[in-house]
Amino acid sequence: MSIGKRLNELKKNELFGRFYGIMLLLLLAVFFWAVFKILTPDNFGTLEKTYYYLQSSIIYSVGACGFYFIVVMGLFDFSIGANVVLSAIIGVTLSKQFGYPGLLIGAVLCGLAIGLCNGVIYAKLRIPSMIVTVGLMLIFECVAYFASGGEKQSLDPSLQFFGHAPGNMILALIAFLLTFFILKYTKIGTYCYAIGSDEYVAKNMGINVNKYKILGFVLLHGFVGIMAVLSVSFGTSMTALTGMATMSRNFTPLMGTFFGLAFRKYGTPVTAMVIGEFIISIIFNGFIALGAPTTIQNVVTGAALLLIVAITTKPAKGAVVK
Amino acid sequence: MGETILVAENICKSFGITKAVRDVSMTFARGEIHGLIGENGSGKSTFVSMLCGIHSIDSGRFLLNGEELHVKNQVEANDKGVSIIVQEMGTLSGLTVAENIFLGREDRFVKYGIKNTTAMNREAARLLDKYGFGHIDAAAMIDHYHFEDRKLIEIVKATYFDPQIVVIDETTTALSQNGREELYKHMKRIRDEGKTIIFISHDLTEVIEFTDNISVLRDGSYIDTVKSSDASEDELKRLMVGREIASKYYRTDYGEPVSGETVLSVQGVSVPERINGISFELYKGEILGFGGLSECGMHEVGKAIFGASYDRTGSVTLADGTKIDSIPTAIRHSIAYASKDRDNESIIIYDSIRDNIILPSINDLAEKRILRKKKLNEFANRYAKLISVKMTGVDQFVSNLSGGNKQKVVLARWIGRDSDIIVLDSPTRGIDVKVKADIYALMSELKAKGKSIIMISEEIQELLGMCDRIIIMKNGVINGEFKRDERLSEEDLIAKMV
């Protein structure tokens, strides 16, 4: 048996598959770190800075975990950015009266409510999720604008525990463990995969497809609520934006989700999303260290993402990829 | 006949204007294997789909143990003691083997909302072992297993909870001989435990051999039920079609010379891990058969000729010297190909009959690059009617057609293209006797017009009956070649296959 064939057989083993997937991701992270370290040794990649890259990446990893629940079902959501802004503003506003409980519970509940709203409207109107969430994104942006009175909302310095280690790490770790737990140890995870695989068969298995799609949106936006807490704590303030300006906030978490989907076959979607976002963070910060213009950064980051997913996914020849 | 377990009373079902099941009433006994046969489109699958909650009933009712059975989905049907192994893929990618087996019924492993994955995997592994499928890992992703293993997993999924009624809908066509033997073994076991099996198959020999009673549907209506021990294939064919079907529907000519004009030359064609150094010539007006065991590589030969194989080496050359190395080149040079995997590789299932038929001819049908619907409709109608596709119109979606009619749409597509070389991989797979006869007649007609056909088939009888020459493959290489001869027997071919 050739080495390639043997490796493919080994990858079918649950434990080896996981090990292989994680090692592949870590190697990629080390590779990109090494490239930038060689290119700009003074400005990039000290232990302290690498830790900073990790801290900034976990914010998006939490969003990626949420995104995963709906993307595996073949759905999409454009209102993530609007939710981050709105939930952060609600959290900051409530924190002024109730402290940390106001910040945390306010943002997460706001996120959950937005998720419920998105899910129910999608299920009831039977409109494609992309269109529903673009419409709702515009509405949520305006709600955030009115809720903040058009003013920048700053988080009190005494309430910024989740903006740095260990607070941000603890909160993110809870979110990662929760994602892992839901995917692996509840029916929700199984049903999300089943619906994504074949909705018709899933329906015939007695699965209430609409219920689980709504639940997917609720979970996504619950995680986005946590992401909002991490974002506003890290950046210390949040300003409402309108006119689809929040759209760009969708894509970084989505890139992490792509890593999760690509590495799902190794049984490590959550780890892949976390390390994947870290890789993206390394690339972003590497370009900043190089002093490259933002446009070039975006081009190379996009290209790197395509390359990584293409190399790691490697579908069988002739397999249909949509 | 034993005690009645299931009664169907005046069951009706329509899809739009198509009446799929018309007022069907019949009974099933406890502890029997009950065959259900009929032509493609006779309503067999629709009938059992209603029993299993996949489709709703328009009117009529099922009575299970004297109580009305009304289920909305498969899991509800399972809860009432009815399960089904479906014709198509019934397992879901992206889930583990264990998750597939218990899909929709995970609650026994869930406590306070938490699923005990370990217990689920352990139970699935126990069941797989019990069924003799110990080579399948319960915790592995189902995507790691091929179609046949996934069918075996479906057998476990459909029967582990001891249902009273098990429906096996046209499953055997997807299985190799080993897979079939496994299925037969479990069918007998289930019957011996006093349960009932409704067995749907187009293979009349297998239906007669493995069932106790056989019911026949025709055009959605119930025709008759006969005892399997008293039934003959000819009688069943007559009941299915409504008239006598000649038991020999193959070619009757022998010894007629085939032209010596080569239309296609295949030299040293190899595809990694599939076929190795295949060489042969195809002559004008010849029907060349390829036979062998399912995994012998013969199916890859069809793909390789059509330019659809990956990493192919060697040459496929037309008489004029044109090299065929891609699908567009093959189509442009009048080569047609109908895949064994009809639904995934030949047909665009959620599209109209018209769009399926016009697809390879679309450039010829365009006038200054503009497509006119009237012209497309005329074209599709002409060829669909030419080979008698049973349809409400060319706008009808292919997904609503029976297997045999889908195959006719594939053939209409290539006849419309007036292809000179036609590669048919398992053209009569899962198809009833009448459509089979139609396809054989069409092949003879095409041969008479000077078209050349390559027929790849796992059915030895049709190779013997239809081909001018038969190539037998084994382990990816050619292992024997036979000329058409009345004295040629199945044993001669089998000797070269195994």
Q: What is the pLDDT of residue B386?
A: 85
Contact in structure between A221 and A111 (CB atoms under 8 Å)? yes
Q: What is the pLDDT of residue B243?
A: 61
Confidence of residue B242 (pLDDT cuts 50, 70, 90): confident
The residue whose two tokens read 């019990």 is: B130
Q: What percent of chain B has pLDDT over 90?
A: 52
Contact in structure between B305 and B315 (CB atoms under 8 Å)? no
Q: List the one residue out of B204, B221, B244, B173 whose CA is nearest residue B430.
A: B173
Chain A: closest CA distance from residue B54 (Å) = 6
Q: What is the pLDDT of residue B18?
A: 67
Q: What is the pLDDT of residue A144?
A: 95
Compute the distance between CA of residue B405 and CA of residue B324 in angstroms, rounded to an integer.
Answer: 30
Tokens read off for B202? 């187009």
**pLDDT 10s digits, B346-403:** 888 888 999 999 988 888 888 888 888 899 999 999 999 888 888 889 999 888 887 7
User: Which stretches of chain A drop beneath a pLDDT of 70?
Assistant: 1-2, 11-13, 311-322
**Cβ <8 Å between A190 and B311:** no
Contact in structure between B74 and A204 (CB atoms under 8 Å)? yes
Tell me the residue type at B228: S
Residues 6+ apart with CB under 8 A from B445: none
Instruction: Please indicate if any CB of chain B lies within 8 Å of the CB of A317.
Output: yes
ipTM of the complex: 0.78
Q: Residues of chain B whose C-beta is under 8 A from some C-beta in A?
A: 53-54, 73-76, 90, 92-95, 99, 103-104, 106, 110, 113-117, 137, 139-141, 143-144, 310-311
Compute the distance between CA of residue B193 and CA of residue B190 in angstroms, rounded to an integer.
Answer: 5
**Cβ <8 Å between B73 and A203:** yes
Confidence of residue B479 (pLDDT cuts 50, 70, 90): very high
Q: What is the pLDDT of residue A12?
A: 67
**Cβ <8 Å between B110 and A187:** yes
**Cβ <8 Å between A185 and B92:** no
Q: What is the pLDDT of residue A322?
A: 54
Q: What is the pLDDT of residue A310?
A: 74
Domains of chain A: 13-313 (1.10.3470)
Mean local confidence (pLDDT), B409-424: 91
Q: What is the pLDDT of residue B246?
A: 54
**pLDDT 10s digits, B263-288:** 999 999 999 988 999 999 999 999 99
**pLDDT 10s digits, B425-443:** 988 877 777 788 888 988 9
Which residue of A184, A187, A265 is in closest CB contact with B106? A187
**pLDDT 10s digits, A69-122:** 999 998 999 999 999 999 999 999 999 999 999 999 999 999 999 999 999 999
Confidence of residue B54 (pLDDT cuts 50, 70, 90): confident
Q: List the one residue out of A44, A97, A85 whose CA is nearest residue A235.
A: A85
Residues 6+ apart with CB under 8 A from B65: B5, B164
Domains of chain B: 1-81+163-247 (3.40.50.300), 92-156 (no CATH), 262-497 (3.40.50.300)
Q: List the one residue out of B236, B286, B295, B337 whose CA is nearest residue B444.
A: B286
**Cβ <8 Å between A201 and B92:** yes
Compute the distance between CA of residue B187 and CA of residue A84 in angstroms, rounded to an integer.
Answer: 57
Q: What is the pLDDT of residue A11?
A: 67
Does pTM top 0.80 for this prediction? Answer: no
Strands (E) across chain A are located at 153-154, 237-238
Compute the distance between CA of residue A278 and CA of residue A31 in angstroms, rounded to an integer.
Answer: 12
Alpha-carbon dihedral sign for residues B225, B229, B233, B234: negative
Q: What is the pLDDT of residue B17?
A: 64
For residues B147 and A166, which has the higher predicted lDDT (pLDDT)?
A166
Q: What is the pLDDT of residue B461?
A: 84
